[in-house]
Amino acid sequence: MTERGISKKPGDGVAISSIVTAFHCTRQYFFYSEMKSNPSEKYSICKHVSCADPDIKEEKLWDIICMIHPDISVEKRSFLKDCLNAVRHVPVRPWTDTDILVRSDRAGIYGLLDKYDATAEEYTLTRCTKAPQKGCWPEDAIRTAALLICLEDTCKKKPEGLYIEYIPSGIIRYYEPTPKDRRKVFQLINKVRDVNKGGIPKKPLNPPCSGCRFFDRCSQNEPRRLSFLFKK
């Protein structure tokens, strides 16, 4: 699952990564959907830390990451070192399969789950962000709700929640989505579909504009107010 990547497969439904981007701001989703998405290097590092042999040396892991991301900057190695230190005394979640494609034809969504442990029949999401004080971040609640909707469509045993491993903090949380999270997923599916049909969406009520990379473009696309026409 890409950290910020937008995948649109017309006919295949809405990518859960798109739903999460639209959750931050529908306009951001609009701008991102016009761009080519690159996989997040931090996410890739966290994936490797999460799935690596516990005794693996930092150097060996860095070598592998460099082969996967030949253009990765050397500064990212300190992120790898911090992540390895963070999980040193906290065993990461067990797994028997990784990158499991899940989908719900009823909801028209699909996404990738990071880990599945066949022994306990449990699923895990791997995040490359630090953990919040308690619970999970709102975007992870939405992600979890969407993934569970997919699992409920395809699995015999329906899990009630997912484990979320916050690799940079070395913290693992378990989250069961609420009906409110699920409602939000369905609202966002409709918003993403509207954007995919074309047209720039309106700004949401409290958009996270501070530090947004699309700030200038977004301001240029402001709908003109009628008062503009009567300006002296």
Contacts (CB under 6 A) with ligand SF4, residues 175-204 = 203
Helix (H) or strand (E) holding 34: none
28 counts as binding ligand SF4 under rule CB under 6 A: yes
Identify the sign of the CA torsion 103, 109, 112, 116: negative
Residue 209 makes contact with ligand SF4 by CB under 6 A = yes
Distance CA 193, CA 220 (A): 23
Residue partners of 10: CB distance under 8 A and separation at least 6:
196
Of the residues 57, 106, 208, 222, which one makes contact with ligand SF4 according to CB under 6 A: 208
Nearer Cβ to ligand SF4, position 121 or 215? Answer: 215
Any residues with CB less than 8 A from the CB of 125 and at least 6 apart, and which? Answer: 1, 113, 114, 140, 143, 144, 147, 162, 163, 164, 165
Smallest gap from Cβ 28 to ligand SF4, in A, equals: 4
CB of 191 to ligand SF4, least distance (A): 13
User: Which region, judged by CB under 6 A, interacts with ligand SF4, from 120-128, 134-142, 187-195, 206-214?
Assistant: 206-214
- Say if residues 159 and 121 touch (Cβ distance below 8 Å): yes
According to CB under 6 A, which residues from 112 to 131 bind ligand SF4?
Answer: none
Binding-site ranges for ligand SF4 (CB under 6 A): 25, 27-28, 31, 203, 207-209, 212, 214-215, 218
